[in-house]
Structure 1
Amino acid sequence: MMDSRNKLKMMIVTALFAAIIGIMAQLTIPLPLVPITGQTLAVGLAATILGSRYGTISVLVYLAMGAVGMPVFSGMSSGLGVIFGPTGGFLIGFIPTAFITGYYMERTSFKLPNAIIANILGMFVALAFGTVWLKFIAELSWTAAIMAGFVPFLIGGFIKAFLAAWAGIMVRGRLLTNRLLLA
């Protein structure tokens, strides 16, 4: 059972990762319908470092902050209009992305090869959610949705998956060593 001190540590670290996702969302390369952002890297980091439960909670806190009006989404935007707009599928897709990435890490081991696999799986989950959402919200054909919501993000997605895996394993190790994270 987790004592109150450890619970507080995990709440603080989880909130910190929600803020990191919001900060990384501001690193943007604009594209016509969906921009390339740093938030996918941050979601991968959160899941790799915190695991499925706390990684997913950090994404939920991030989405709640944006839903209530804090400008944490790409381009300092916020609100339910963003969540239910063309990019909303990617935002909603971060929930299963964080869970699946963290779950894979927990079921295998927190080692770099597993982290790379987990983050690549997570990338595909986010892209799939985003592409399906984009197809219906923007009323696109499947080909147009795939060309707008999937293909442009593959190379960057692989790069971000590798970076999240590498940095996540390093940071997780240091946080565990300094007892700032529960194993």
Structure 2
Amino acid sequence: MTKDQIKLRSMISIALFAAIIGILAQITIPLPLVPITGQTLAIGLAATILGSRNGTLAVLLYLIIGSAGVPVFAEFSAGISKLVGPTGGFLVGFIPAAFMTGFYMEKRGYTFTNALIANIIGMFITLAFGTAWLKLSADLSWTAAFASGFTPFIIVGIIKAALASWVGLVVRKRLISSKLLLSHTNANA
């Protein structure tokens, strides 16, 4: 496969996962300040399947599209105001979460245990960014910020981390075996 073909496949994968994040973001369970969404599941899938580089690029593309006004954020919302509003920290936290999730698996291997650990690390990164941002932007106490932006998401986050690990590894293996994804995803730089 030529470098141009590899680059094209990477760009298509990145765009596809940006779209998947936008689609899963519409699965929401409303809560008072921060809803439970399918976004974090999609972030875990992107990082598990695409790795640190392309998974992070998919998240960045998703955030750019949403910030530009395409309604891909939760509840079909969009705009830069979402990035600077009370839930903006969760969105921004997706960037380091995707990178660290993919990076961990690239260094440790693509096993279910490593994928689960990596996705749980990613979940905690997202929650940490989101909680800190929520505290500052909504002028909450740390206790209130943790009660609204961290605690309600731990159990469902672990479930989504397990699901992203299992589904992500199955899809990754099948994409590699069908030669639609390189086994070393960062070889396409």
**TM-score normalized with structure 2 length:** 0.95
Partner SS, residue 182 of structure 1:
coil
Alignment coverage as a number of residue pairs: 183
Partner SS, residue 180 of structure 1:
coil
Moved over 4 A (4+): none
What is the match of residue 39 of structure 1? 39
Pick closer, same or farther for the CA change 1:160–1:2 going to 2, 3 Å. Answer: farther
**Deviation of 1:2 (Å):** 6.4
Q: Which runs of 5+ in 1 are unaligned?
A: none
CA displacement 1:121-173 (0-9 Å, x = unmatched)? 00000000000000000000000000000000001000000000000000000
Percentage identity across paired residues of the two chains = 63
Q: Which runs of 5+ in 2 are unaligned?
A: 184-189
What is the match of residue 135 of structure 2? 135
**Deviation of 1:35 (Å):** 0.3
Alignment of 1:9-158 (within 5 A): 9-158=9-158
Partner SS, residue 71 of structure 1:
coil
- State the distance in 2 between where 1:6 and 1:81 align: 36
- State the distance in 1 between where 2:171 and 2:110 align: 11
The one-letter amino acid of 2:9's match is K
Query: For the aligned residues, what is the CA RMSD?
Result: 1.0
CA displacement 1:52-84 (0-9 Å, x = unmatched)? 000000000000000000000000000011111
- State the distance in 2 between where 1:163 and 1:62 align: 21
